Amino acid sequence: MPIHMAATVKLVNHCHQSLSSGNGNRLRRRVTASFNEATINDGDKRSNKSTRLAKSISNLLNLYIEKPSLNNLLQRNDWNAVAQAEAKLDLPTMSPKEDISRIWREIHGGSDWENLLDPLHPLLRREIIKYGEFAQATYDAFDFDSFSEYCGSCLFNRRKLFEKLGLGKHGYEVRRYIYAMSQYEIPRWLEKSYVADTWSKDSNWMGYVAVSDDVESKRIGRRDIVVAWRGTVLPSEWYGDMQQDLEPLGHGEAKVERGFLSIYKSKRVTTRYNKTSASDQVMEELKRLLKFYKEKGEQVSLTITGHSLGGALAKLNAYEASILFPTLPINVISFGSPRVGNIAFRDELHHKGVKTLRITIKQDLVPRMPGIVFNETLQKFDDLTGTLDWVYHHVGAELKLDARASPFLKRGSNFIGIHHPETYLHLVDGYVSTTSTFRTDAKRDVALVNKYCDMLVNELRIPPCWYQLSNKGLVSNEFGRWVRPKRENEDIPSPIGEEHSEL
């Protein structure tokens, strides 16, 4: 894709009409025949359509050729990154909260974030980071330990989650955990745990539902329900992600990637948690919360967030919620999300009033998939091919960042580090506009970038992948033997204990 300075904002054109797959196939055959005929005939006899098609293909290929930036590829600032980092050690990591109650609809995407993204409005930046930290929490609290008997669950119960992760500052309370699975049968070596007798062979903790408290609700102008979805960390989920076939969603022309839909909709009567699907769990909780707060006469919004796979699940969640709650303001803020469905899926989300903001990094490969070649760029020659319902399309507005804009990040092709949510939050925190350098008064702790990767310049002396359990989770018992500690009873995943909280 072409290089833009620091960020690019794209609003999707929603005026295309969908065609049935049958008409699309017939149209593709006619276009192919015309193109072949023009190739055989003399160049002077080529049709205008074929010429336009050839130019469109050239333009499409040109999108994937890197070009030098006009400003020397986003030069690093002259100021010393180490000195800047040291100067912030005694400063708070966030500025005081400001009241957004009068403009919450604009911040929530009521006008598709028009004039708020370039330059990035400071109040919107704060909200993006808040929801990004909710998405990051789904990684920080996930039990990655393949030797743990609870591998694949959340380390803490929902009442302790935000306290343990330092997110109590945001003023939200977790009301329910979400569990998911994939319907695909996978080889034994793809299973998540080395321990045969694990807490669940099918379910994985995929996120949670939270609600703003009274103080935060007053600041933001409404009662905000948040659904946060975890991204891909387990091999079985990668297996699901790779099922790139588009599958019908409902009875219309909307189609979505089969693997994403499977994780969102799958259930199995023999498992402890997924007797109901992730979809069912979320929608049940949303119905309960909306009924409660609307009976109190409160204004309510729904914000769905997620990183990577979590961003894809967030869009599926928003689609379903928009059908069941047509008057509810629904907003999706995703980070590094792949494409999810076809143009009909995109259009249906738009017509249902769902507002979607995609935060992407130019060097991140995940937002280019699926559909690396056959994607929304084919709209350049819709007049020849018609609407292609088998082609993937991104959804909503885009805030595109550039990893080279930060003086704290290493240069090079660290595709894993670039994709991490903490890298995204770091770049959002420092982004001002497409024509500005990384802001020197960015608040977030730079060290967070290296939680799970090695992205920071060595001069900062922040060790890579530092976020881990002390001694890899082992503790010394009363006899001096190193053992794996037992979880507190309240933190052991239990189907009974995971019921929603009382309101």
Q: What is the C-alpha to C-alpha distance for residues 85 and 426, in angstroms, rounded to an integer?
A: 13
By C-alpha distance, which of 260, 264, 221 is closest to 244?
Answer: 260
Burial of 199-228, coded b for 16+ CB within 10 Å and e otherwise, reads bbebbbbbbbbbbbeeebbeebbbbbbbbb
Q: Report the DSSP pairing between strands 300-307 and 355-361.
A: unpaired
67 Cβ contact list (under 8 Å, min separation 6):
2, 3
State the catalytic residue, choosing from 108, 394, 419, 420.
Answer: 419
| Burial group, residue 369, by CB count within 10 angstroms (0-12, 13-18, 19+) | middle
* CA–centroid distance for 262 within its chain: 17
Contact 473, 485 (CB under 8 A): yes
Query: Residue 308 catalytic?
Result: yes
At residue 225, what are phi and psi to the nearest 5 degrees? -95, 130
Tell me the DSSP string of 310-376: HHHHHHHHHHHHHHH-TTS-EEEEEESPPP-EEHHHHHHHHHTT-EEEEEEETT-SGGG-S-SSSSG
Half-sphere exposure of 428 (CA within 13 A, CB side): 31
Contact 304, 283 (CB under 8 A): no
Query: Residue 364 catalytic?
Result: yes
Query: Residue 419 catalytic?
Result: yes
State the catalytic residue, choosing from 347, 364, 402, 491.
Answer: 364
Contact 132, 425 (CB under 8 A): yes
At residue 215, what are phi and psi to the nearest 5 degrees? -65, -50
Tell me the DSSP string of 80-135: -HHHHHHHTTTS-SSPPP---TTSHHHHTTTTTTTTTBTTBPHHHHHHHHHHHHHH
Quick one: which H or E segment has residue 224?
strand 223-229
Quick one: which H or E segment has residue 256?
strand 255-257
Q: How many CB atoms lie within 10 A of CB 321?
A: 24
Residue type, 252: G
Q: What is the C-alpha to C-alpha distance for residues 233 and 152, in angstroms, rounded to an integer?
A: 9
Catalytic residues: 308, 364, 419
